[in-house]
Structure 1
Amino acid sequence: MKVSDALSATVMRFRRAPADTPTGLVAPVRSDRRTKNLTKRLRPGDIAVVDHADLDRVSAEALVSCGVAAVLNVARSISGRYPNQGPELLVSAGIPLVDDVDPEVFTRVREGERLRLEGAVLYRGSEAVAGGTLQDPDTVAAAMARARAGLAGQLEAFAANTMAYLQQERDLLLDGIGIPDIETDIEGRHALIVVRGYHYREDIAALRPYIREYRPVIIAVDGGADAVMEAGYRPDIIVGDFDSVSDRALESGAELVVHAYRDGRAPGLARITGLGHSAVVLPATGTSEDVAMMLADSAGASLIVAVGTHATLEEFLDKGRSGMASTFLTRLRVGGKLVDAKGVSRLYRSRISPWALLGLVAACLLAVVVAACSSPAGQVYLMFLAARWDGFTYWLTGMLT
């Protein structure tokens, strides 16, 4: 009887659940059409709903660092225009990625509402709220292969955008006309430009000996100011449209440079004046990354070290926008002054190694001991120290007994 009961319990324990039992991932859902804004509200375990065509690597890294449980994209994460790296990063991290989700999901789902994601469908109880196409490593790899096949067309468009930017900004790019004067003294110093981009955390960590020894002027681009402060430093200058930088960074005392449009519109200026700060306005067609490089170069920086900026062809195309052509030309303008942070971390070594410092301390101690033993004054001092030690041991022995 006991054997029969044990067998029945085993069968019950391993029996499949009924077909109508809810399964899948149950988690709070948070949505925003701008991935940059959504990452500020995400919490570990959330389901993120975005509208991000050609999901780039930086956005994917931000989603992974937030600890999202799944990502639902109203757009196509890989449209085929170029081989963007974001979907590969999400899938390799084991995060479910659902594409082509019904756009009505933004109105049907409440912020923070706990819903169930089963496969490619989002449920509220037994009601299907929205659905799409579930991506896996095979589908992502196939889409990336198709995107690489069309890379030649993107390169042609990139070249055309480069020429258009050169025609629009030749005075600014070639002669520096329009770059305002700033209060921060950069002449003859190193400038460290920090963009919250590719591997910025690793780059800043690798540059700690360099920062400690050379004390460069730290120029942060928008959210790069928060990255600088997270690493334990303070930015000297913050450049950008100030849509992704925290109030804490703006209160750090850094000089503020607002990147404005060519027609004079400066959306970030209203936020700065609203906080009671003043700022320098720099109108330019390119990106804030370009503005920071040109600002450092025009101010007389002897070397410009870039953290998290775009350096390779894939990184230039990864944003999928024509404005990146300006970054390419800006790098040509800055020329030999510009060094990528990865190169600095590989080539630079601190002039004074820890072993050399330890040897110096040991030599100093040895010299003190030898001088104390060989001089009359030193012998008197050693006798004094010995008497104090004897008094201490006598007191300690009395306390213990």
Structure 2
Amino acid sequence: MSGLILIRNADVYAPEALGRKDVLIAGGKIQAIASSLEEPVGVECRIIDADGMKLMPGLIDGHVHIAGAGGDGGPATRTPEVQLKQLVRGGITTVIGCLGTDGITRSVGSLVMKAKAIRAQGLSAYVYTGSYQVPAPTLTGEVSSDLAYIEEIVGVGETAVADRRSSSPTVEELIKLAKATLVGGLLGGKAGVVHLHMGDSDNPFALIYEAVEKSDLPITRFYPTHVNRNSQILKDAVELGKLTAIDITAAVDPMEPLWGKEIRPVEAMRQLVDGGVPLDNITMTSDGCGSLPEFDENGHIIGAKIGEPSALYANMADIVRQDVLPLEKALKTVTENPARILRLKDKGRIAIGADADLLLAHDNLSLSWVVAAGQSWMENGEQVRKGSFE
């Protein structure tokens, strides 16, 4: 699919419900949205009859280990790089990559190059500089210059706190990291957030509150993930989420058994919303291609799984099917909200001038079509465009 595309009779969620509309796509952008649009005359235009289907923005997955991760249990537990087909099958048209535990044998440079490869093949990709460790590994030698100079870099992360695998940053170190991210973000026109990996330790958000108290940094500079890691952190996240953006991890399909003490995204979303967290402050990401280790009481790894990008769409749909949120609200957490928090221009919405990153799903939310920048990747549930080496 290229050139002009006219999608007719779709039930449009932008993510807010717009009702039945026609949508015209050209040049990789959404050019028109109306109750009825005429087919352009004199030019080739593909018509898609979407009667009975829901048209939604492509998902933004804000936490994927695109260049691989893991290694917690030794070299054999390193996870592979993401393949484009994994993103497409999950309706993900924009991805933000990160390093994790391993900021030693993996590099920010390889992460940036993987993002460039994804972009070259037709999806959108960005990354965080840094890793679990503080001081953060970088590409240019400084967090601030990474943000200023490198187009793909939007912030720093996933910086680990409250976790035995973290470098146990002090409050002063966290403040300096956030300040460098802020300045680099200003210079580069980036969001400049500090994306924090939250571990299992008690009182996990204490360092965030202390950093804000001891500096002039707004709490919105910090963007913690894995807030559904266990019941206690989720309880604490209800209060933090009233002040800043927080992120639910959807690493496994809702039909698969949980790994460890995690709270399922459907239940985590229910508790956050019922607790009064503004929906604008909630996002959900897949932790795709990340290692999901399980440890014994002595901290020894006893098993591991790999996060699956497709779990993001599956859990979003589960939240709708379980009547926790209607579709237009559940979609915000994986489209509009991450686009706003990470300052991703023309992403996360169906609107005139926005990127033509679109999904078509049946009434039961089974995914049928995936379009990225006006190019078709999936049609009628079958992948029609492939990435390199697939």
Fold match by TM threshold 0.5:
no
Structure with bigger RCO (C-alpha 8 Å, 6+ apart): 2
Bin for the TM-score computed over the shorter chain:
under 0.3
What TM-score results when the alignment is normalised by the length of structure 1?
0.27
Higher percent of residues as strand:
2
Higher percent of residues as helix:
1
What TM-score results when the alignment is normalised by the length of structure 2?
0.27
